[in-house]
Structure 1
Amino acid sequence: MNGKEYQELAMRTNDGNANCRLRQAQVDNIEFDVGGIFNACLGLSGEVGEFNDMIKKWVFHEKELDIEHLKKECGDILWYIAMICHSLNWDMDEIMQMNIDKLKARYPEGFDVVKANNIENGDV
């Protein structure tokens, strides 16, 4: 198999309607900033990649870890999380509290390896 054959076979599972779906999402979810959501998701992926690349190079390439630069990348990640909340009209305080509530319910006495490896159905 060559690249052209692979592409043709793989694209059998792509119906080509992504643009239509994006336009429909903008109509259906008018209270959401669909462009902002899309921008934030792509930006978040990029920033997490930059953060992870610094960690990879520190551990596996034996490069000195620039803590101040790493903090700035963490701030960029947080910025995109804030943009997601803004674009979906969510209260970031509520999202943070929901996460803490979930962690407290999952690990009432603190982290537990057994509980971490046996998450209950419906626990997200």
Structure 2
Amino acid sequence: MEKAYKFRFYPTKTQIKILNSTFGCVRYVYNHFLDLKQKLYNTEKKSMSYSKCSKELTVLKKDKEWLKDVDKFSLQNSLKDLDKAYKNFFSGKGYPKFKSKKDNRKSYRTNYTNNNIEFLDKWIKVP
């Protein structure tokens, strides 16, 4: 069973900068791979699996150094979200859309692995 927690918090200016950077990187990865998948399908009529996208993300992180500054799990989860969006499309739901920078519904997911998230008295330390 997976658990999810939803919190409302009031970030400092430094935390806002980190969050905005993470939102931007997650959006960039999602849009980049959506564009890649579309181009691949239009030219060769082939699809790109999650595992192939994950390997390509490693190559992309070497090219775009700023992608290394954010939580790696959030980037992987954006690829999983894209994969799920394509599966939903093929089951009859709408086609995946590009993420907008101006949309105010920004969010990302991370994974709890090797105690990377710490629960302190009144604080939560997130990667």
TM-score norm. by structure 2 comes to: 0.33
TM-score after normalising by structure 1:
0.34
Higher helix share: 1
* Structure whose CA Rg is larger: 1
Where relative contact order (Cα < 8 A, 6+ residues apart) is larger, the structure is: 2
